[in-house]
């Protein structure tokens, strides 16, 4: 069954956790969907994780659409979320165009960073499911750090969250905030919260898929290791190179042959 925003809201009501992961390609989308993921997310972390870019800010709308289309083809049931890339929602008009393009190419909802209240209000009035993203914002903040550790900074997060919900944000991603802030916002907000490095009590969890698969070299406190895919891939590639070099690949079972009579004719 196709998952909708209202399913995600029900999960909050029923205190069932929402699962979400980033995804940038078709085969991964198929597997995540098969795993019954609630939300499959084409984040702008596409840049550093999949495209080898220096920063999320280098990701273009064309990059996003290219990968969004591939991920869309792999999904039957999951809710598909797409990030609005850096510099594509600086005005209400620009934001509208960006959001419409992402929706037209298969996104069920779009996410943007920061306190862009006018943009969120406009998009949500147009029926576009618009997600907010508070705490550490890779498009806006230079260094990855925990936000909201002091009374003052935590209070400003609470105020921002209230304002974003009032403006029409339908979901809230919380990145790198203390567990206490994650819990407080989750209790306070009517809309579901999804945490990354935001503790145990948010309505759902999101991670960058490459971090849990072991495809990123760095170790992150908030990520859990679910398998060293890098080692599996490296070993497979090394074996392949070795087998090709030594003539061990292809094997008998990999071959196709001509009919002997046809071969004889060819040789005459
Ligand atoms: O792009 C991304 O992966 C994100 C998550 C870290 C929430 O925005
Ligand atoms: Na992002």
Considering the candidates 50, 56, 129, 175, report the single residue annotated as catalytic. 175
Q: With beta carbons less than 8 A apart as the criterion, state whether 176 and 196 touch.
A: yes
Nearest atom in ligand 1 to the alpha carbon of residue 45 is 1
**CB within 6 Å of ligand 1 — which residues?**
22, 43-45, 83, 173, 175, 196, 206, 208
Q: Which domains does the chain have, with CATH numbers?
A: 5-227 (3.20.20.60), 232-267 (no CATH)
**Tens of each residue's pLDDT in the chain, 268 residues:** 999 999 999 999 999 999 999 999 999 999 999 999 999 999 999 999 999 999 999 999 999 999 999 999 999 999 999 999 999 999 999 999 999 999 999 999 999 999 999 999 999 999 999 999 999 999 999 999 999 999 999 999 999 999 999 999 999 999 999 999 999 999 999 999 999 999 999 999 999 999 999 998 778 889 998 988 999 999 999 999 999 999 999 999 999 999 999 999 999 8
pTM for this one? 0.96
- With residue 115 as reference, give the H or E element that holds it: none
**ipTM topping 0.85:** yes
């Amino acid at each position: 069954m196709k998952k909708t925003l209202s399913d995600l809201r029900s999960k909050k009501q029923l205190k069932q956790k929402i699962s979400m992961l980033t995804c940038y390609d078709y085969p991964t989308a198929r597997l995540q969907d098969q795993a019954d993921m609630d939300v499959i997310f084409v984040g702008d972390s596409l840049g550093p994780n999949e495209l080898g870019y220096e920063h999320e800010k280098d990701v273009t709308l064309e990059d996003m659409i290219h990968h969004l289309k591939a991920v869309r083809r792999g999904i039957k049931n999951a809710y598909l979320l797409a990030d609005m890339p850096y510099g594509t929602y600086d005005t209400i008009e620009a934001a509208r165009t960006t959001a419409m393009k992402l929706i037209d190419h298969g996104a069920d909802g779009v996410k943007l960073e920061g306190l862009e209240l006018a943009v969120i209000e406009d998009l949500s009035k147009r029926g576009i499911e618009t997600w907010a993203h508070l705490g550490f914002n890779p498009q806006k903040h230079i260094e990855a750090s925990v936000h909201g550790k002091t009374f003052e900074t935590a209070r400003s997060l609470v105020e921002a969250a209230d304002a974003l919900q009032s403006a029409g944000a339908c979901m809230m991603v919380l990145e790198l905030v203390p567990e206490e802030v994650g819990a407080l916002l989750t209790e306070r907000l009517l809309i579901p919260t999804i945490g990354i490095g935001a503790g145990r009590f948010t309505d759902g969890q999101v991670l960058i898929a490459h971090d849990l698969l072991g495809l990123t070299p760095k170790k992150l406190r908030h990520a859990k290791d679910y398998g060293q895919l890098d080692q599996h891939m490296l070993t497979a590639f090394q074996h392949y190179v070795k087998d090709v070099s030594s003539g061990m690949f292809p094997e008998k079972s990999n071959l196709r042959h001509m009919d002997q009579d046809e071969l004889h004719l060819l040789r005459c």
